[in-house]
Chain A
Amino acid sequence: MLLVVASELDVAAAQAARIWPEARVAVMTPRDLCRAGIAIVVDAFHDGEVVVEGKVEPVGGIEAAISLLRSVPQYELWEIDDGDRPYVASELTAFLFYFLSRLKCPVLNRPSAHLLSGPSWGPLQWMWACRQCDLRTWPEPMFQPDDSVPEVQSPPCGTVHVLDGRTTHAGRTQAGAARYVRLARHAGVRYLAVQESEDDDGCHVSLIDTVPNLADPCVAGLLRNHFRWREYGPAVGTG
């Protein structure tokens, strides 16, 4: 089973089973986490059970996992009383952080405490990481109390996707694909989307995301080719 952890409102995730018939995709939503059936003993994790699409499934039957959720949103807990939603959202996010960290099968991307797909880095951490990889980024933030310095945003000119050491294309910076792959390794992720923008000095990195967007046909196609293990065997890396 390819487990996709996603919002119940994510149409692309729900359609994944149709576009990936060979992957036996099943979608776990926050609603599943609020159903009877989860039972995991911490030192026997892979003998445990979780609820996926309303059915109890063995943890050991999960062959790969993708999280499309950044965290569990309160608004999606429609069966939970309003006053309890902040607590329950926190509990479900913490559970998923543990669950996705612990799975032995390939996970794209491993979670961190505050982001269920990749490191929970802010702009400054990403800028620092780009510097380590010799990538030019947006100008460093200067904070003024009266906001008198407007943020200058250069228009985007394309997005490069990195997946397990390969990129969709070389991008428009002179750095090329190799530095984006280095950036992904530095961040400890298998999947990365890097938006490029252009200014008077040329191209630079303007936005980075580690959460795949299946609504983007390029991303959906990339992941579909990557997870075609029924045809080629588990052609996914460890992680």
Chain B
Amino acid sequence: MVLLWGLAEDSPLSAVGAELGRLQVPMAFVDQRLGPRYTIEFDGAMCGRLVGPTFSVALDAIFSVYARPYNFSELDSFEGVESSDPTWRRMARFEELLSGWCDVTDALVINRPRQMGSNSSKPYQLEMIREAGFLTPNTLLTTHPEAVRQFVAKHRQVIYKSISGWRSVVKRLGDEELAAIDDVSCCPTQFQQYIEGVDHRVHVIGDEIHATRILSGQDDYRYSQDTQLAPVTLPTSVADRCTRLCRALDLHFGGIDLRQTPAGQWYCFEVNPSPGFTYFDRHTGSIARALASSLAAEGGRRDRANLCGLAGLSALK
């Protein structure tokens, strides 16, 4: 059985659920809006049952998980609910246990909570990206206004963004921002050399590559009205680096942001461990299907492993 965890209106989750339905793969859905109505029971060996309003499933019957939980305290149903409220505490406890189980189970989990943290610090992840063999923009972390001025003098075109996973619009550092640059002393900020080129978003699922070229007039295509997407085949060396990077981050599924310069160099900016891929899938049409196949295949792999084990036992007899 495949376990889906998140919100019904989450596009990636519902897209994968639809594909699993087409493949007729048994699945269970933990809907965060019904959170307090779920229970999880352990029988003393990290096995047990997950029970919801519409299902009861043995934990070891779950062979793969697609987890996209949101911060439950931000759901409408928890608006105004204090953390001391019994309902809030039950929800927090349930999610802590389910998240913990996702970290330790030998089921395929896309992606394990412990692996989701690398992009909570962009410079931390940038180091891992460099180790995978990608070029990365020259990057400055600073609270020093003069360091920013020197960086701008060196690179001329500079962008700035948040250091943490807090969503921020990537902006070019203009005259207006430079005039107020003394404010940088209040909080370390990440400045990067601007890299000219064409954006690509690469979704990696295991060893599979799904690449999309993005043409946009804005520095941050996510907030542009004129963005155009097209599926593309990456050079083998770049595709290999992408799979190597996801493997290094222990991500079965990752969304990688690349930019190809006019000179043909490939820069990598970020890896998203829980990419919202449906925006791209409208043009590639393959990601949800590939994810569902990957989740479903884990069941077949386990069955074959069990059969081999049984065959081994027969041979011994």
| Residues of A participating in the B interface, judged by any CB pair closer than 8 Å | 33-43, 49, 51, 79-80, 87-88, 90-95, 97-98, 101-102, 112-114, 119-125, 127-128, 131, 140-145, 147
Contacts and interface: CB of A to CB of B under 8 A. Distances in A.
A143 B166 contact: no
Interface of B: 36-44, 46, 48, 86, 89-90, 93-94, 96-97, 99-101, 103-104, 114, 116-118, 120-124, 126-127, 130, 136, 138-145, 147, 162-166, 184-189
A13 to B, nearest CB: 21
A122 B143 contact: no
Given A124-B103, A125-B103, A140-B42, A36 B164 contact: no
A29 to B, nearest CB: 14
B186 A80 contact: yes
B121 A140 contact: no
A97 B126 contact: no
A94 B163 contact: yes
A123 to B, nearest CB: 7
B84 to A, nearest CB: 13
A95 B100 contact: no
Nearest to B140: A41
A71 B46 CA distance: 29
Contacts of B48: 140
B187 A88 contact: yes
Contact of A95 (B136, B138, B163, B184): B163
Nearest to B141: A40
A84 to B, nearest CB: 8
Contact of A42 (B39, B126, B188): B126
A133 to B, nearest CB: 14
Contact of A145 (B39, B44, B188, B189): B39
Contact of A39 (B41, B97, B103, B140): B140
B188 A33 contact: yes
Contacts of A143: 39-41, 90, 93-94, 97
A121 B118 CA distance: 15
Contacts of A145: 36-39, 90
Closest 7 CB pairs of A and B: A113-B117, A124-B100, A94-B164, A36-B185, A140-B42, A39-B147, A94-B121
A90 B166 contact: yes
A37 B144 contact: yes
A42 B129 CA distance: 12
B141 A95 contact: yes
A87 B141 contact: no
A158 B166 CA distance: 41
Contacts of B124: 94, 97-98, 101-102
